[in-house]
Amino acid sequence: MRHGTPMLSLGNAFNEQDLLDFDRRVRQAVGDDIAYNVELKIDGLAVSLRYENGVFVRGATRGDGTTGRILLKTSKRFVPSR
């Protein structure tokens, strides 16, 4: 399934310089009025959930970020139907 909006991923930062470079790129793109929320990364499965008129219609894996695999039956067991 092709995602309506690409599911992008952030690059890894391995040292302080990587973080400073990331901050510089963000500030160049959006200006200096920004705040960061940093959380531990927990690996898992990234999915896209689609609801139409408040009703769950499908789920898909992230895949390559542009196209993912449909997970309709699996998704229905774990996500609210409304």
Longest pairwise C-alpha distance within the chain: 46
- Residue 18's contacts (CB-CB under 8 Å, 6 or more residues apart) are 12
Q: What is the CA radius of gyration of the chain?
A: 17
- Nearest 5°: the CA angle 16, 43, 70 is 130
**Active site members:** 41
